Structure 1
C-alpha cells in the first residue's frame, strides 16, 4: 500500500510543530506565494498564545508518490490523553529529542505508550545547532531509555537522524544536508505499511472534528475492509449498545485540509460525516458482521476542581452563559472529546466536580469556556487519593529541573520542603540537572516560587509516575490576604495608604465587592480593609502641599497562577472579561462561623 501513518511525539518545546512545518513546506503543500507563517498546525488561538500544542491534529502529504499521514501531538504531560488515543492511528513514530536537554519526563511517557502499541520508532535529535548541544551523549541516553522501557531487539535497533528544524535540515549524520529529504526517505524506508486484516469493515473513532456545516465528524483509521459513501454501518459503542447508522460523506486528509472521496480502504485515515450519537473509542463495523475493536484505555485523572455558577455580586455582567444548565451541558460536551476528563454531580445542582490530569489541563478548559462567554466560579485544585491495602495513597510525579548551578541549592530546598526527594543531580553543560520524586500536591504553587527564587532561570517539567503512600501535610501559602469590606470603586488615596500592608491585585478605579481578595498580606492571617475610601475635601488648604500619590502597579496573575495561589476557603470568579480572587463566603461573619465549625470538626 502506498500509505504511511506516522505520529510525531516529544517532550514540550523540543520542536514537533516546527518539524511538521518543514514536512509541509518540503512536500509543496502550499503555493509559492502563499503566506503561511510558522507553527502552521497550532491553529487554535490558545495554542498560539501559549506557544504549546494542546490538540492533536492530522495533515497529509505526498512524497515520491506515497501518501504520508502526519499526526502532530501535544508535548505537555497534562494532555497525555490526546497522545494516547491518536497513537492508535499510527504505524510508526518520530521521537524528537532536544540535542541539549536529552530525554525528558514526557519523552519517557509517550515513548512507553508507543512501544506498548508496537509502533516502529525513528529517533530525531533536533536543535544540533544550539550552543552546548551534546548529540552523541543524548543518543546514548535515548538508547538507555529504550532499554529501560523493555523495548524489543527490533525496537532497540532504531534509526537516528540529526538536524535543526529551525534551519530546515535533517540528515542521518551530523553533517548538515540541504533540506529534510534524508528524513523523508527514512520515513518511507523505516515506517511499515499499515497492517491490514482480511475481513469486513472495522474502524475505531480516535478523534472528533466539528464543522458548522456538517456537524460532528468522526476521525479514525480504517483497520479492516473498506468504508463507502452511503453505506449502512453498525456503530458499536463502548457500553455495548449497537446503533444503526449511515455514512453520508467521506473525506481523506490532504495537505492541511480534507478531500471528499467515495471509498476509503483499510490502512488510511479518514473523516466520516453523518453519524449520530458517537463517541471516541466507538467502532464503526460492518452492518452484518458486527465486531467491536478493544476500547481505548486512557490513564486516570489525578486532580479535581469544583466548578460552579458565578455567585458574586457582579454575576451576569460579562457572560452570555451563566446558568447551571449551561455549565453542565458545556462540561458534558467537553468529556466527549477530552478523554482524560471526568465530570461528577454533587449535592448542589449548581456545582460539579471536574477531574483532570493537572492544573494546565483544567486551566485550558476554563480559559476556553471563558472565551466562549461562560461565567463560572472554580475552587482550589485537589489531588485524588486512593486507599490501597487499607492505607491512603496519593499521586506522585517525576519533577525535572534544569537550573544554573548557583541556584541549585535554592531549588533543592524548595522541593524538599514540599516532601520531594532528589534522585539525580548532574551537570549538563553550564546547567545543573536535578530530578526529584514529589507528591502532586507539592507541585501546586511551586512554579511561581521557583521562578522567583531562581530569577526566572529554572526550566521545570513533570509527569505522573504512580500512586504512593500519603506523605503527610505539605506547607502551603504562608501569607494571608487583604479582603475588601466594601463594595464600590477603589481609589488611589486608599490604596496608597494600604500599600505597606501587601501586594495589590487591583488598580485604582477597579470595581470591587465585599469578600473579594484585593491583595496579598505581608504577614500570615487575613485582613479586612477599605480600598474605596475617597479623600475628604474641605475648603481649608493643608499647610504643606499634598505628596504625589505613587501607586505600585498591580501584580498580574494568569489563570493557572490564580489556581495555584488560592487556599481551601478561597475561589476564582472567571468571566469573559475578568478573573477575580474571592473568599468562598463573602460575608465576614459567615467566614468566622465556617472556620469555627471546621476547627470543632478537627
Structure 2
C-alpha cells in the first residue's frame, strides 16, 4: 500500500544550479523558521568548505510539512567527485526534482546524477531555475532535459511524467510558476505539485522489518549512526534486530536510539513506520548496504554497490626544512591515526597504509574529492606532504590494461575552439560533439583521467580566461599509452633563505615566479616555472653587489610581476612524479622529492634519466 502522508524526494542538478538555495526557500515557505530567527543563506551547506567553495559535498536529509504531508527532501551533491553519495541516497527516494539553469541547460554532471535517478526508476519532475537570469531560455532548457532523459534510456512512463510536470522558478527570488509569464511570487505551486503528483512510498506496513543503511553519520558519543529508508514493517526503540552485511554475514543488535528527520534537525522518537527515513543508533560498526531486519522473518534486499575510486594519492609526514613552523600536528603516527579515522567515516574512500610504512595511500573519485580531505586536515592543524595523484589502472577479462575515461565539456568563444581541440588532442582526448552557438562554442570530449590533470589552467590560458571546463567520470576504457607531461622546466631554489626582490627581478625574465619578496624558501623548493624545458637551480637570495661608486640607476626600483599562486587542487595537478606538495595550515608549497641538487642528479643517473 502507499503511505499517502509521506513523500520522499531527491533534488538533483549540476553544481551551482541552485539546489541548496531552492531547499532554503522551501523551508521558508513551510514556516520552518521562527519569524524573528536569523538564518544564513544556503542553510544546508553547513560545512565551512561547502560555504566557501559554493558546492554541496555531503548529501543531507531534511523534512518539511505541507498540507499534512511530510516531505523528506534529500539535497545531493552536484559534483561528480562526490557521486558515491548520490548513488546511495537515491535509493531512499520515490521521485526527484531535476533542477536545471534556464541559461545553461543540462550540464555534464546533470547527466551523471540523472542517469542514476533513471536507473533507480524515480519519477522525475523538471524545475527550470533562474528564469529571471539575463539570456535565459526556459523552453530550450526544458526541451534539452527531455532529450537528455531520452538519451539516458528513460522509460516512456518517466518521460510522460516529466513532460506533464514542469515548474519554472527563481530560487534566489523565492517563486515557482507553472508558466514563465505568470506573476506568482511564492513557492506553493511547486509544493502543490510535489504533494499532489509525486508518488507516495509503496510499502508493506504490516510486514517484517526491512531497512537498508545508505548513509553513515558519526558522533563522538555514540559512534556510527545508520541512516536509511524503511521498506516494510516498523522499527521501535529497543528492538532486537538482525543486521545482514553486504557479504552475507549476520549479527544481532539492539536499537539504542531512534530518530526521524524534522525540518533541519532530527527528532528522537519511539517508532518509525514504513516509508519514512530513520537514523538508528546502536549498531556496532554498521556499514553502507547493511540491512536491518526481523530476526525471525529476515528480508533480503539488493546489496549496494559503491563505484570504485579512480585516483590515489600518498600522504607522508612532512620532511620540509620549515616543518613545524605553521602546523601543530606533524608526526607520522598522528597523520596515520587521522586518516584511519577518516576510513571509518568515509566509505567512498579507500585508505591503506603502504607496505613499507612510509605513508598512507588514499584513493578517491577525483582530485576535488581528495583535496577536500586535505583541506579539512590542514584546518585541523596538520602539516604533511603528498605526491602526484596516480590513476588506478585495472585489467579487463582478457588481461588488457584499462583506465578511467572522463567526459569533458568546454564552452568558449568560437575563435578559441581550435586551440582547445589541439590541447585535448595532445592529451589523448577525442572530440565527440561540437555545437557552435551565436558566440559560444560547446565542445564535448572523451579523455583519459590522466590527461585531465593540469588541463584546466592550459584551457584558461588559450581561451584568455573565457573558457568554462567541466568533466565527469564516464567509464573504464582501453589504456591510452604514455601521455605528454609538463613541457616547461621548474626553477628550484638552491638555498634556504627569504626571497630577495633583486634576485627575483632577473629571474622573472626567465619565466613565471611562484614566490614574492620576503617569502620563506628552502633548498629544493619550486619557486617558478621556466619558459623552456629542463629544470634550473636558481639563487633567490642574490643581492646587488655594492661598490663605493654611485650608479646612475640606483634609484630605479625593481618592477616585479605578481607571483602565480596555486590552490591545493592546482598544485596537485601541476607537480611531476619526482615532486611533492607540502600542505600546512597557512601555505601550499611545491618541492622536489630530493631537496639537494647533487643528490637529485645522482638519483637521475641511477634511474637512467640523464647521462653521467
TM-score of Structure 1 vs Structure 2, range by shorter chain: over 0.9
Deviations 1:260-314 (A, max 9, x none): 2111111111222233222222222234444453321122222222222212222
Structure 1 contact 280–337 (Cα < 8 Å) conserved:
no
Q: Which residue of 1 aligns with 2:179?
A: 173
8 A contact 1:82–1:338 mirrored in 2: no
Aligned equivalent of 1:187, options 186, 190, 194: 194
Cα deviation, residue 404, structure 1: 2.0
The 3-state SS of whatever aligns with 1:129 is: coil
Judged with a 3 Å threshold, the aligned counterparts in structure 2 of structure 1 residues 350 and 322 are, in CA distance, closer, same or farther, namely: farther
Of 17, 26, 29, which residue of structure 1 is paired with 2:32?
29
Which one of 393, 411, 415 corresponds to residue 406 of structure 1? Answer: 415
After the TM superposition, which residues 37-56 of structure 1 pair with which residues of structure 2 at under 5 Å, given as runs?
37-56=40-59
CA separation in 2, counterparts of 1:167 and 1:456? Answer: 30
User: Per-residue deviation at 1:589?
Assistant: 2.4
- Aligned match of 1:17 in 6, 20, 23? 20
Residue in structure 2 matching 1:380, options 359, 376, 388: 388
Contact kept? 2:64, 2:262, Cα under 8 Å = yes
Matched residues in 2 for 1:216 and 1:173: separation?
46
d(CA) in 1 for partners of 2:437 and 2:44? 32
Taking the TM superposition and a 5 Å limit, the aligned residue runs for 1:161-560 are 161-176=167-182, 177-197=184-204, 198-388=206-396, 389-535=398-544, 540=548, 542-544=550-552, 545-560=554-569
If the length of structure 2 is used for normalisation, what is the TM-score?
A: 0.93
Q: Distance in 1 between matches of 2:140 and 2:520?
A: 57
Residue 599 of structure 1 aligns to a residue in which SS? coil
What is the DSSP-based 3-state SS (H/G/I as helix, E as strand, rest coil) of the residue aligned with 1:560? helix
Cα distance between partner residues in 2 of 1:108 and 1:326: 40
Residue 113 (structure 2) aligned to one of 110, 122, 126: 110
**Offset at 1:380?**
1.0
Is the Cα contact below 8 Å between 1:82 and 1:339 reproduced in 2? no
Does residue 128 (structure 1) correspond to residue 128 (structure 2)? The answer is: no
Task: Out of 52-61 and 309-318, give the one that drifted further.
Answer: 309-318
Instruction: Give the match's secondary structure for 2:509.
Output: helix
In the alignment, the residues of structure 2 paired with residue 76 and residue 33 of structure 1 have an alpha-carbon distance, to the nearest angstrom, of 34
Does structure 1 conserve the Cα–Cα contact (< 8 Å) formed by 2:131 and 2:169?
yes
Among 64, 68, 74, the alignment partner of 1:65 is 68
TM-score by length of 1: 0.95
Counterparts in 2 of 1:489 and 1:267: CA distance versus 1, 3 Å: same
Distance 1:79 1:591, change over 3 A: same
In the alignment, which of 559, 578, 585 is matched to residue 569 of structure 1?
578
Structure 1 residue runs of 5 or longer lacking an equivalent are none
Count residues in correspondence. 601
Can you give the 5+ residue segments of structure 2 that lack an aligned partner in the other structure?
Answer: none
Name the counterpart of 1:78: 81
Shift of 1:214: 4.4
- Backbone CA RMSD of aligned residues: 2.1
How far the C-alpha of 1:101 sits from its partner, in A, is: 1.9
Is the Cα contact below 8 Å between 1:210 and 1:216 reproduced in 2? yes
Per the TM alignment, residue 113 of structure 1 is displaced from its structure 2 partner at its CA by 0.9
- Distance in structure 2 (CA, Å) of the matches to 1:564 and 1:92: 38
Whether the 8 Å contact between 2:387 and 2:579 is mirrored in structure 1 is: yes
Contact 2:217 2:345 in 1 (8 A): no
Secondary structure in 2 matching 1:193? coil
Deviation at 1:321, TM superposition (A): 3.1
- What does residue range 581-592 of structure 1 map to in structure 2 within 5 Å? 581-592=590-601
The answer to whether the Cα contact below 8 Å between 1:90 and 1:119 also exists between their aligned partners in 2 is yes
Q: What is the deviation of 1:19? A: 1.0
Structure 1 Cα separation of the partners of residues 13 and 134 of structure 2: 21
The question of whether the paired residues in 2 share the 8 Å contact of 1:207 and 1:337 is answered with: no
8 Å contact 1:12–1:75 — kept in the other structure? yes
Determine which of 86, 90, 98 is the counterpart of 1:95: 98
8 Å Cα contact 1:324/1:349 also seen in 2? no
Q: 1:497 to 1:480 in 2, by over 3 A?
A: same
Give distance in 2, aligned partners of 1:595 and 1:328: 30
> Structure 1 residues 220, 429: closer, same or farther in 2, change over 3 A?
farther
Alpha-carbon distance in structure 2 between the residues aligned to 1:356 and 1:384: 10
